[in-house]
Amino acid sequence: MLDSGIDALLKWGQSHGAVLDSSIKFEKTENRGVCAFSTRDITSTPSTPQIKIPLDIILRKELSDGYFGKGKFKDADNVNSALKLLVAKLKFDSESTIVQEEDLKAKFAPFIDLLPVGRDTGSVFYWTSEEVSLLENTNLGGSLDAKIDNIIKEWYSTVKLLDKTPQSERDLTLIEEYKTLSKDELVARALDVRSWTSFGAYLWSSIIFTSRAFPHDLIDSECEAGQAILLPILDLLNHDNSAKVQWKFDADGFFSLTNMDTIQEGDEVFNNYGAKGNEELLMGYGFAIEKNKADSIALKVKLPTPVVKSAVEVFGFKIPKIEDYTQFAFNNDSRPSSEATDDDIEDGMIFFINFHNLVPDNLLLLFMFLAKSGFESHPTLRSKLEALQTLRSALERKQALLKQSINMSEDIDPSISQNAKFYRDGQKDLYKACLAEIKHIEKQLLQDHKGQLTNLKKIFKRDEALQDIVEKAFGLETYEQILAEDVADNVLFLWVILHGSLDIEKSVAPEYIIESFKEKLSNTFQDDHLEAFSALADYLAGELQGHEIQSHITAKNLVIATEVLKENSYTRISSDEIIIVDPLEI
């Protein structure tokens, strides 16, 4: 059954020149809101669009410039601030809004009146604290407060540029008190909209733009980057990221949508918002998709600015820029690129993980820089293997938090619970896939570089000199006994000191281990860990009394051995095993 509001909107659009294929019928459904269905089989071509919207009823920047004055909001925080504010006025102000002798409020009423308000938008911004708790330990749950802060600041920077009125002055006082409000109190304020300059009105308009806006450059390639437009009627179509659609603005001033799929009678006619993950869908559109293959996880890495700049200079790391991860309501590939700034570093750098790029090269490169030893001036096999362990450990901690149970109250709207579940499950699936990929990369590296890797088991099996001192020091004869007695680290220390200090015939220690020890031994030495190794040095020297290595078992040499091992090995998470790695650049 056609809703009266939808009927009024369609008739209004057609009276202003909109063209709708007669086979498309709009219906208001119980579970999915407004849907468009085809009453016959349709085989589309680029020359047969289903919907055409004339420029006359497209809400765009020219209208906000016409009402507020061009350049009025040039200092606002968002390029769409003026248009958002205009839409808020059309919705919440009872007075007319005249532009070139035309009342925009009256003109756009059939469109504005049909837009959902408050919780009917599905927006996470209107969720209660109990509902938000369903997002605990997720990206969205952790960033929601910051997103609200950003919108409040954007609203304030916009409304303060208006000519002052008693009402706007009262509205702006929220900036001084919102930090003292609880989540539920702030939501209640936002839902109780009493003026078009209030935060609640601007938040609503922002939600409408996030869920319904199209890029302005579709109708004007010369527009400012990031500008948006609203397209009445066309925005009624639901999303399917597999739908093949064509958007076009023609010379006659019509924006058209053509669904290029073959549509069967009774099928729904879709738009395609693009490949959007559940976080963006839930944030912007109020729903999530089960098993969404476009899902992503945003990892925030916060490091001192000098460290990041050093990673750029030494390893060629590329700093992700703000526009690389700013959330838009649409894809806007035409926005210009810019150089990364300190602001892109100081608040934390964002890296996206998705099913098509489970371990981003740039993210791994940063972790390789953080894992590099003192002598490594280029990415090495060792730094890559260690970086994989560090990244794996960080993701496993996040995964463990996400797996913690949450309280699903029966009082929460079932659709909200379901959307939250789809989102959480998608995040879990992505963490699982990412960790599997990290393990695969490590396994492949170990296979490809067998000749550049060794471990204590191989060392002990071949090194008779080491076997001799281990038996004297610990009374152990096999590798399995070493593991059982938990002295593997100490045995490796002895191995480094043995071959670094003595001229062992048929030495099986790699030359880089020997040279590294000797180099450190000859350097000026200052270390706060000497005291910590004193007891171990005394014990080992006592057990090895009479052996030629005894005089070399000192706290200093033990400290040096730990540094040599640290710079030439990594520890596998899966087995807690130290792997010795050749200093191979990759």
Q: Under DSSP, is residue 214 helix (H, G, I), strand (E, B) or coil?
A: strand
Q: Under DSSP, is residue 449 helix (H, G, I), strand (E, B) or coil?
A: coil
Whether 106 and 237 share a structural domain: no
CA dihedral 543, 545, 546, 547 (to 10 degrees): 60
| Residue 500 to residue 556: CA distance in whole angstroms | 13
Report if residue 224 sits inside a domain: no
Report if residue 566 sits inside a domain: yes
Give kind and range of the element (H or E) at residue 354: strand 349-354
Q: How many helices (H) and strands (E) does the chain have?
A: 25, 19
Are the C-beta atoms of 195 and 92 separated by less than 8 Å? yes
Token digits of residue 248: 């076009």
Characterize 335-374 residue by residue with b for buried, 16 or more Cβ atoms within 10 angstroms of its Cβ, and e for exposed.
Answer: beeeebeeebbeeebbbebbbeebbeeebbbbbbbbbbbe
Whether 445 and 568 share a structural domain: no
| Residue 499 to residue 466: CA distance in whole angstroms | 9
Dihedral sign, CA of 133, 193, 157, 338? positive
Report if residue 139 sits inside a domain: yes
Report if residue 367 sits inside a domain: yes
Whether 421 and 465 share a structural domain: no
Report if residue 381 sits inside a domain: yes
Are the C-beta atoms of 104 and 97 separated by less than 8 Å? yes
Q: Is the model's pTM score more than 0.75?
A: yes
Report if residue 546 sits inside a domain: yes
Q: Which domain holds residue 573?
A: 453-581
Token digits of residue 447: 């296979």
Q: List the beta strands (DSSP E) in 431-544.
A: 453-455
Q: Which of 427, 449, 471 finishes a domain?
A: 449
Specify the pairing of strand 270-271 against strand 238-239. Answer: parallel
Structural domain count of the chain: 4
Report if residue 544 sits inside a domain: yes
Whether 430 and 460 share a structural domain: no
Q: Residue 565: what residue type?
A: L
Q: CB within 8 A of 486, min separation 6: which ones? A: none
Token digits of residue 249: 């603005």
Whether 308 and 421 share a structural domain: yes
The CA-atom distances, in angstroms, between 63 and each of 266, 289, 446 are 38, 35, 62
Are the C-beta atoms of 39 and 268 separated by less than 8 Å? no
| Residue 185 to residue 92: CA distance in whole angstroms | 21
Whether 321 and 445 share a structural domain: yes
Whether 244 and 109 share a structural domain: no
Report if residue 463 sits inside a domain: yes
CATH number of residue 18's parent domain: 2.170.270.10
Whether 44 and 65 share a structural domain: no
Q: Report long-range pairs for 221-228 (Cβ below 8 Å, ≥24 apart).
A: 221/334, 223/61, 224/61, 224/79, 225/79, 225/332, 225/334, 225/335, 225/336, 226/79, 226/80, 226/328, 226/332, 226/335, 227/60, 227/61, 227/79, 227/80, 228/80, 228/83, 228/329, 228/330
Q: Under DSSP, is residue 155 helix (H, G, I), strand (E, B) or coil?
A: helix
Whether 200 and 237 share a structural domain: no
Alpha helices by DSSP H, listed for 117-266, are: 129-132, 139-159, 166-172, 174-177, 183-191, 199-212
Written as tens digits, the pLDDT of the chain (586 aa) is: 457 889 999 999 999 999 998 889 998 887 777 888 999 987 777 678 889 999 999 999 999 999 999 989 988 889 999 999 999 999 999 999 999 999 999 999 999 999 999 999 989 999 999 999 999 999 899 889 999 999 999 999 999 999 999 999 999 999 999 999 999 999 999 999 999 999 999 999 999 999 899 999 999 988 988 899 999 999 998 888 788 888 989 888 999 988 888 888 999 998 887 778 999 889 888 889 999 999 999 899 999 999 999 999 999 999 987 555 444 333 434 444 456 677 778 888 999 999 999 999 999 999 999 999 888 889 999 999 999 999 999 999 999 999 988 877 778 888 999 999 999 999 999 999 999 999 999 999 999 999 999 999 999 999 999 999 999 999 999 999 999 999 999 999 999 999 999 988 777 789 999 999 999 988 876 677 788 899 999 999 999 999 999 999 999 999 999 999 999 999 999 889 999 999 999 8
Whether 164 and 128 share a structural domain: yes
Whether 390 and 269 share a structural domain: no
Alpha helices by DSSP H, listed for 46-159, are: 61-68, 81-92, 104-107, 109-114, 129-132, 139-159
Whether 18 and 66 share a structural domain: no
